[in-house]
Every structure is written in C-alpha cells, then in structure tokens.
Structure 1
Amino acid sequence: MPQAEGYSAVLAGATGLVGFQLLKQLLQEDRCRSLTVLARRPLPQLPGLEMPRDKLHVITADFDRMDEALNDIQADVVFCALGTTIKKAKSQEAFRQVDLGYPVALGEWAKAHGASKMIIVSAMGANEKSAVFYNRVKGEAEAALRVIGLPELHIVRPSLLLGKREEFRLGEKIAVLLGPALSLLMQGPLRGYRPVHAEDVAAFMRNIASVPQETLAPYVRIYENDTITTSRRKTRHQSAG
C-alpha cells in the first residue's frame, strides 16, 4: 500500500505528453521505490537524467497481450497515461482501442494483481453520453473502470495540454502562443478551462500516489482541471516562499 515508506508503480503511456513527464518525475521521486514502464515502443532519451537500473524496469510489449507482458509484476500504484488522436490512430476503432480498451485492460490487471490505486489521465468533458466522439470514448473508459471495483480509482481530467509533442497539433500550438493572455482572460466561470502544462498534470498524479488509502471500500474520485491548476499554483507559491 502506498504509504510513507514508499510504493511500487506501473506506468503505461510513458511516451506520451503527460506520461513522459510522469516518467521523469517518478524516477526522481524517492517514495517511488520501483517503476515498471509498459510501452509499445522504446522510450526516448532522457537528457540530463540517469536511468536508475535498480529502480526502472521497461517492458516493450504488444498491449493486446498486456496480461502476458505484466504476468510477473506486482504494483501498489498503476498510472495510466494512454491516449491518441483520430489522426494518429487512423480510425475510430483504433482510437477506441487505445483510449478505452487498453486502459480498461490495465484496470482489470490492477484489480486482479492487488494494486491499491489506479490513477488515469482522462479529459475535461468526458461523458459516456456525449455527442462528441472523443469525450464519449473518454467517458466510456471512466465508466468501465468504475465497474471493475478497484480499491481506489483516481480520474484526472485536464483541459488543453501544453507541452512539446512529437506531432503537430494546431489547437495546442495556439494555446502555447496565447497561454499567458488566455490565463488572464479566463476568470470566473472560465477559470476551469485554462490550458494546463503536462508536467503539472504529471506532478498532480504523482502527489495522489503518495496519499494513504482513504477507505477500504471501492473509492472513486474525479479531479477537474481547476483542481489541478489550483493545486500547482499553491505548490509553486509554497516553494517560492
């Protein structure tokens, strides 16, 4: 159980925007004693960060055979940062597999292998009844994970993500350029829609992992974008002080 003495973790999606930031942070996190990364392709280089061989275990595998790849692994905390786009996936069916099928399979593995927490990146507006395909699939994934009955399921719903991606995304490029102005304009009811940096989302997830289990019954908590950004502003303010 992830208490003060530390925890072991599994991370899926380490080559993505949030996942890569989470990988870097977990490698530097003393409370994370061991980290198993499940990836579909080799990990990118981490400039300026030495890979601790005794802490990091990378499994490059076919996600359609996830149970087989993780067969001998045990973890207290499971992080899921899997996600794609229609452009990258090429079809709605392939998109659903990455954003719905794989996270649910990971959740089922976590439940079967005694993980105490699963922490997943979803998206603002996730709703299984949404008319928007992207939001609907994210909502369906959340609903399916709830049914599994994990001891703790933490769902993080960021707004537009800021950070350097391999592929070009027009919306995110505009958000980066207009970020400071958008933050000033988005006040009151619009505050929750502010773009958020991927490293801040990763830090938020990392902090959740270290919080002692709150209940013995299945526990689900959803964190909206405003909660993420507010938390990071408080952390920066405390660090500056």
Structure 2
Amino acid sequence: MTSFRKALVIGATGLIGQALIKQLNESGAYQEIHLFVRKPLEISYPHVNSHIVDFDSLEKSNYPHVDDVFCCLGTTMKKAKSKDAFKKVDYYYPLMIARGALAKGAKQFLVVSAIGANVNSTFFYSRVKGELERDLIELGYPHIHIFRPSLLLGERKELRIGEKLGEYGVKLLGPLLRGRWSNYQAIEGEAVAAAMVQAALTEDEEKVKVYESCQMNKWWNNVN
C-alpha cells in the first residue's frame, strides 16, 4: 500500500473507534483521517477532520476522497429498542456509507461484524450482521476486510451491564476456550483496531478476507 493514505472512520466514539483513531495517527501512514459524526467531538489528534452528518440522509452527505473506510458502527437491541432501529444502525448506515465512499474512489472497506454472523442464522443479531457482510461484498470494492470479534473488552463511555457480566464469565472460561472454541475468547477493543490498521496497510490480492478473534488476538499478543 502507498504511504500517506486517507481514511474515513465511522463509529469513532465507540470502543473500537476511539482506539482506531489513535492507532491510525500513530501508524504514520495517514495524512488525512475523516470522521462521520452526529455532533462535534473534542479530538486532539493531528490530521483528523470531523464531518457532522445526518445519518438518516447519508445519500446527501459530502463524501471525502479516501483510500480506506473503517466502519466500527454498531448498537445493541436494548439501546435501539426495536429490530427496525437496530437494523438501521447495524445494516443500512454501513451499507449506505460504503456505497457513497465507493463512488468517490475508496478502495478498501474494513468493517467490524460479529462472531457468528450468518445470513441463515435464526438469531436476528447474527442474521443482520451476515446480511451486511453479504451485501458489502456485492458492492464491488477491490478489497473487503471483515472482522468478527467475540465479546469486546475495554472501557466504554456507556455502561453495558450484560456485556460486563459476560466479560467476567468469559475471562473465567478463557483458559478453557481452545481449539475450535478459541474464537470465542474475549478480545480487547484495541486489538481489533490494531488488526484493522494492519490489514489496511498490508498488500494482499484477496478481495475478501475474514478475521476471527483468535487471529486478531495472536496479532495483538505479538506486538505487546
């Protein structure tokens, strides 16, 4: 990949998004980092430009010319309060942004999906993630990178009681999650962000690549 690249980040205020912005800056490879946000952010990093957008009118947004799009957008059923609202955030927003950025020349789309994503899943959450993966691939990007983390670890701005309880449980079971169960090991948000940056800057001829928690954890452990 060429140096001095340009990136667009969606979901910059989340656990992975915050880590991603920091790591993109520290990589030295990006001369411009654009953010699509709902309201102004206090960002102290250089090379970062925030764009206030209406996520319900993404087709009218002014998309910057970028090389790589990083999508860390996602919500929970509890926060969304309905299946339609959940699908709007986790499916329609990422897909609309992918279309808009592709039309402006983006070459790579890197998206945080979830373990178990499958269009045929009986679970609504997993099925929506699978539908997003499928439809992103069909857009025709030269490169699509799909990251499927298990339970995310890290300090969030919002308290998610269910995830906190799950975090304690997974930490206790962690040593037992080996072999085919290794992808269910919890993973730090920073580790996912690091894997996204590494994938974006690695030359690869494959059009579609999927990264599971086990692989991302190995990368993270090798650099820490």
Please give the range of the TM-score, normalised by the shorter of the 2 chains.
over 0.9
Aligned to 2:161: 170
The number of residues matched between the two structures is: 224
Tell me, in whole angstroms, the C-alpha distance in 2 between the residues paired with 1:40 and 1:89: 16
Instruction: Tell which deviates more after alignment, 168-177 or 21-30.
Output: 168-177
Instruction: Tell which deviates more after alignment, 124-133 or 34-43.
Output: 34-43
Aligned to 2:12: 14
Aligned to 2:89: 98
Structure 1 position 201, deviation (Å): 0.3
Deviations 1:133-164 (A, max 9, x none): 10010001111111101110000000000111
Structure 1 position 113, deviation (Å): 1.3
What do you get for the CA RMSD once the two structures are aligned?
1.7
Aligned to 2:53: 61
Amino acid at match of 1:223: Y
Divergent runs of 4+, >4 A = none
Q: Is the 8 A contact 1:6 1:210 kept in 2?
A: no
Structure 2 counterparts to residues 75-154 of structure 1, below 5 A: 75-154=66-145
Structure 1 position 179, deviation (Å): 5.4
Is residue 220 of structure 2 the alignment partner of residue 226 of structure 1?
no
Tell me, in whole angstroms, the C-alpha distance in 2 between the residues paired with 1:192 and 1:213: 23
Q: SS of the counterpart of 2:144?
A: strand
Tell me, in whole angstroms, the C-alpha distance in 2 between the residues paired with 1:204 and 1:96: 25
**Structure 1: where are the runs of 5+ without partners?**
237-241
Instruction: Tell which deviates more after alignment, 219-228 or 131-140.
Output: 219-228
Q: TM-score, normalised by structure 1?
A: 0.87
Q: SS of the counterpart of 2:35?
A: strand
Q: Percent identity?
A: 39
Structure 1 position 228, deviation (Å): 1.0
Structure 2 counterparts to residues 196-211 of structure 1, below 5 A: 196-211=187-202
**Structure 2: where are the runs of 5+ without partners?**
none
Q: TM-score, normalised by structure 2?
A: 0.93
